[in-house]
Amino acid sequence: MSSSLTRETFLIFFSAVFLPMFLAAVDQTVLATATPSIVSDLGQLHLSSWIAIGYLLATAASVPVYGWLSDRYGRRTMLYWALGIFCIGSVVSALATDMSDMIMGRVIQGLGGGGLMSLSQALIADLIPPRERAKYQGYFAAMFACASIGGPVIGGFVVTHYSWHWLFWGNIPLALVAVLRLVKLQPKAVNEHRNKPIDWIGLFVFPLLCTVFLYWMSVGGQSFDWLSLTSFYYACIIVALAVIFVMNQRHHSTPFLPNELLRNRAIYIPLITSMLFAFCLFALIFFMPIYLQLGLKTNAAISGLLLLPVTSGHIFGALCSGRIMARTGIPKWIPVVGMTLSSIGFIALATVSPSPVVVGLLGTLCGIGFGTVMPTTQLVIQTVAGKANIGSVTALASLSRNLGAAVGTALFGVLIYRLLPGFDHNTSIETLLSGPQEPIISAFQTSFFVTAIVSGLAALNAARAPVISLGH
């Protein structure tokens, strides 16, 4: 494709990949405000964070598989499969009668969702050169922000006026429209890697390792004591799986995670930044509505609307980042400044006397910082990896974000539930709502302070990255 791209041509491609990206992003967060309602119907509050974690973990596990397959069989073909699996998971979740059914449906959704975002981004990367792509990257980041942070707003509205079941049924017609739009695209398939062997050990061990680790972190101290024999067994399994995975990575000719890309500082440093960014973003998105409902006694609709300032800040940060990259071609310092701003925002959330308005305003500051990360890291790693590795490196970016999101959601939830006095398996939403606000607010503010530290680490890590020019 020519290095010059008209806005009209770009919008044709954007309209075709918009819905898959939107579905992937919105389903990561749409249940944040709906979670209390779902728990009221299905019970098992202590497993509620797995509504998000199950989706994010399945997404993380499936993303590298889609990257590998799309390099061999084409992006569009794999997008069709991803949309189909996503719809099956939506149906299972909509029909759920207990928390186990819900989590299973979310896992299936995640297995499809893993391909929606990464394959859509890879399609655009196939067609648009990096410096031209920088002009429009703000659109993608803004869409991601609107979907991710707008998800709780949608969820709050639907739960307040209808039922949480419609949050899943609504995915079906949107996915059908996405298929109709994709049919009009004729992207060139990338087939250089078609004959390379599959790393079956990596494909199996990596998601299993992530699942066991996150489960151990989520239920340890509740279902069993940290120093118990059960906890020791889990730790041994995690160490054994980690050893198997690392050894396989070193000796397999085409390992699950591509070693040649992960050894490059210009790639692995932005990936770590992306993981830490997602840790903070999804901890905020998933738990801020719960904080507002339990700690500040707002309803689901209001708690969702109070995430709009985060969306506005995210969009502003993303659009400014895209403009700066298009003008200078040097993205290095943008996420450093951004994650520093987010860290300041989290410190304020942890220390300032809370009210719905104050929380919303501080969310704006956090959002501005978050908006700088995704457009910069995406373009840098795609530029460094080269066109032949677009599918693999875009999958790595999605993998790092989803792992960060899953770990952030799990650990933030673990920390909050540990800090809530008297919380156990039998604690209900009604018990927390009828109890005093001060312990709930204190638990969340402590967790926000921990997240501020993670945001600061993301800024420091981004400062370590080499200076990369996006070229022309």
What tens digit of pLDDT does each residue of 73-93 get? 777 788 889 989 999 999 998
* Percent of the chain at pLDDT exceeding 70: 79
Domain boundary among 208, 238, 253: 253
SS3 of 124, please?
helix
| CA torsion, ordered 248, 250, 251, 252, to nearest 10 deg | 70
Q: Are residues 122 and 3 in contact, defined by beta-carbon separation less than 8 angstroms? A: no
Domain membership of residue 192 (yes or no) is no
Instruction: Read off the pLDDT band of 130 (50, 70, 90).
Output: low
Instruction: Read off the pLDDT band of 189 (50, 70, 90).
Output: very low
pLDDT above 70 for 1: no
The pLDDT score that the predictor gives to residue 5 is 56
Residue type, 147: A
Run of H or E including 72: helix 50-73
Statement to judge: residues 83 and 96 lie in one domain:
yes
Distances (CA, A) of 226 to 196, 209, 229, 409: 43, 19, 9, 20
CA 168 to chain centre: 18
What tens digit of pLDDT does each residue of 418-436 get? 777 766 666 666 666 676 7
Give the ranges where 95-129 is alpha helix by DSSP (H).
99-127
Q: Are residues 376 and 331 in contact, defined by beta-carbon separation less than 8 angstroms? A: yes
Residue type, 123: L
Domain membership of residue 470 (yes or no) is no
C-beta atoms surrounding 98 within 10 Å: 12
Statement to judge: residues 181 and 217 lie in one domain:
no
Give the integer Cα–Cα distance in Å for 261 and 285. 31
Domain membership of residue 289 (yes or no) is yes
Statement to judge: residues 263 and 365 lie in one domain:
yes
Rg (CA), the chain: 21
Domain boundary among 226, 253, 280: 253
* Percent of the chain at pLDDT exceeding 90: 14
Degrees (nearest 5) of the Cα angle 401, 111, 170? Answer: 95
pLDDT above 90 for 123: no
| CA torsion, ordered 143, 147, 149, 151, to nearest 10 deg | 170
* Residue 222 domain boundaries: 197-253
Mean pLDDT confidence for 142-150: 67
Instruction: Read off the pLDDT band of 238 (50, 70, 90).
Output: very high
What tens digit of pLDDT does each residue of 13-35 get? 666 777 787 787 777 667 767 77
C-beta atoms surrounding 177 within 10 Å: 10
Q: Are residues 242 and 438 in contact, defined by beta-carbon separation less than 8 angstroms? A: no
Statement to judge: residues 306 and 230 lie in one domain:
no
Statement to judge: residues 59 and 25 lie in one domain:
yes
Give the integer Cα–Cα distance in Å for 384 and 465. 12
Q: Are residues 109 and 86 in contact, defined by beta-carbon separation less than 8 angstroms? A: yes
Give the integer Cα–Cα distance in Å for 31 and 184. 32
Distances (CA, A) of 31 to 10, 41, 208, 250: 32, 14, 25, 39
Here the tokens at position 177 are 């429209």
Phi first, then psi: give them for residue 220, nearest 5 degrees: -60, 135
Instruction: Read off the pLDDT band of 414 (50, 70, 90).
Output: confident
Mean pLDDT of the chain: 79
Instruction: Please state the pTM of the whole predicted model.
Output: 0.70
SS3 of 289, please?
helix
Q: Tokens 């061999």 correspond to what residue? A: 72
Mean pLDDT confidence for 117-126: 74
Of 93-97, 141-145, 207-211, 402-406, the one with minimum mean pLDDT is 141-145
Beta-bridged to residue 224, according to DSSP, are: 220
Statement to judge: residues 176 and 211 lie in one domain:
no
Of 127-141, 215-229, 359-373, 388-402, the one with minimum mean pLDDT is 127-141
Statement to judge: residues 264 and 330 lie in one domain:
yes
C-beta atoms surrounding 358 within 10 Å: 14
pLDDT above 70 for 120: yes
Domain membership of residue 472 (yes or no) is no
45: closest CA among 415, 429, 419?
A: 429
Long-range contacts of range 12-15, CB-CB < 8 Å, 24 or more positions apart?
13/123, 13/124, 13/127, 13/128, 13/185, 14/124, 14/136, 14/139, 15/181
238: closest CA among 275, 218, 210, 219?
A: 210
The pLDDT score that the predictor gives to residue 2 is 42
Q: Are residues 280 and 451 in contact, defined by beta-carbon separation less than 8 angstroms? A: yes
What tens digit of pLDDT does each residue of 257-305 get? 777 778 888 888 999 999 999 899 888 877 887 788 877 888 767 777 7
Here the tokens at position 442 are 């204190």
Here the tokens at position 311 are 């969306």
Q: What sign for the dihedral angle of Cα 382, 385, 386, 388?
A: negative
The pLDDT score that the predictor gives to residue 344 is 95
Domain membership of residue 449 (yes or no) is yes
Give the integer Cα–Cα distance in Å for 437 and 293. 10
The pLDDT score that the predictor gives to residue 134 is 58
Domain membership of residue 365 (yes or no) is yes
Q: Are residues 281 and 405 in contact, defined by beta-carbon separation less than 8 angstroms? A: yes
Statement to judge: residues 217 and 315 lie in one domain:
no
Domain boundary among 253, 275, 295: 253
DSSP label of 220: B
Domain membership of residue 357 (yes or no) is yes
Domain membership of residue 191 (yes or no) is no
CATH code: domain of residue 43 = 1.20.1250.20
Statement to judge: residues 221 and 81 lie in one domain:
no
Statement to judge: residues 214 and 274 lie in one domain:
no
Phi first, then psi: give them for residue 213, nearest 5 degrees: -65, -50
Give the integer Cα–Cα distance in Å for 313 and 5. 28
Domain count, the chain: 2
Statement to judge: residues 141 and 170 lie in one domain:
yes
Statement to judge: residues 393 and 371 lie in one domain:
yes
Give the integer Cα–Cα distance in Å for 19 and 14. 9
Run of H or E including 80: helix 75-94
Mean pLDDT confidence for 310-332: 82
pLDDT above 50 for 62: yes
